[in-house]
Amino acid sequence: MVKKRRAAIVCFTPTPTTIVCLFIDFLESLANILKMEDSSVSCAEHLGQYFSERDNSSNVILSSNVPDLCKTEKCCLGVDEAGRGPVLGPMVYGIAYCPLDKSDDLKKLGCADSKVLTEEKREELFGKLCEGKDYVGWAVEVISPNSICNSMLRRQKYSLNQVSHDSAIGLIKKAVEDGVNIAEVFVDTVGPADKYQEKLSKIFPEFKITVASKADATYPCVSAASICAKVARDRALQVWKFEDGIENPAEGWGSGYPNDPVSKKFLQKNIDHVFGFPQMVRMSWSTADKILQESAAPVEWEEEEDDTSGNTPSISSYFSATKSKKRATHPYFRERCLKSTVSI
């Protein structure tokens, strides 16, 4: 049987030289992260400067310094994301935390759901959150399109919900490791809120966990996390470097959402017939996959027909005890009247 597929990814076996180069790139990326002092992030411009100097294909976690007050006073911590739905760019998860009695201060700053704020207002509020370093802390994880695609397209499925949950859990654990005295956690839900809350409560039984829909519009600490995540994603996209030889389009690439005509135009214009899309694109999205099917070069390979006879043994059968027929004794032993006395 011959099956057809569209080209998008070329696999190769790395040579020792390639492995060394990749390891050097990893060390350089790690050095860049370590060189960036959290205290230097006082505005969105500093985030943009950092993103312009790093490799877009890898994930990164950025965080503020933990205020001393957050190590001694009981704190609330909010979790939210930005960029879950777009076909272009990273998904960013963010947390923000402060002492319980400072929660109203976040509200007074103007913290609200980042989706209802203008870009200018979000950046202004992010600057205020950085200035409030005596009582507010934050962290974001920028999850690259590469990482999202590799997770969702691997043989053993790793859904976007799982990616989201793991990022949120990882950021909460990081806050704990950094010494934040967490008492309550508020999370904007991904999937069924009750199941997500039960999952988090089992992992963090010492915290009061609240998972709710539209938590970013209800709890100030979640609103702050939403702002940090959105500003980080926006800045990462604004200074995106294409390693694929593509120039930033004058008209931009739109919102990145699948139904945006500007984003669709960018996808259609920047597809390589063999290698697929640039690293900014999440090829696991149906919008990108459809364009691949229509525009990329077809690939053919032979594949064995599926066994539909029903005689294929299950994997578990190889590990279960079975009664096998007694093997005939080899002529060498029969001719010499030798018999086995011990079975191994």
Q: Residue 306 has which token pair?
A: 């599926």
Q: How confident is the model at residue 323 (pLDDT cuts 50, 70, 90)?
A: low
How confident is the model at residue 17, as a pLDDT? 54
Q: Residue 335 has which token pair?
A: 């001719």
pLDDT of residue 125 exceeding 70, the answer is yes
Residue 104 assigned to a binding site: no
Higher per-residue pLDDT: 112 or 96: 96
Distance CA 141, CA 173 (A): 13
Higher per-residue pLDDT: 27 or 221: 221
Q: Read off the pTM.
A: 0.75
Q: How confident is the model at residue 198 (pLDDT cuts 50, 70, 90)?
A: very high
How confident is the model at residue 7, as a pLDDT? 47
pLDDT of residue 183 exceeding 90, the answer is yes
SS (H, E, C) 275-332: CECCCCECCCCHHHHHHHHHHCCEEEEECCCCCCCCCCCCHHHHHCCCCCCCCCCCHH
- Average pLDDT over every residue of 148-169: 90
- Average pLDDT over every residue of 181-186: 97
- Average pLDDT over every residue of 180-200: 95
How confident is the model at residue 343, as a pLDDT? 60
Residue 80 assigned to a binding site: yes
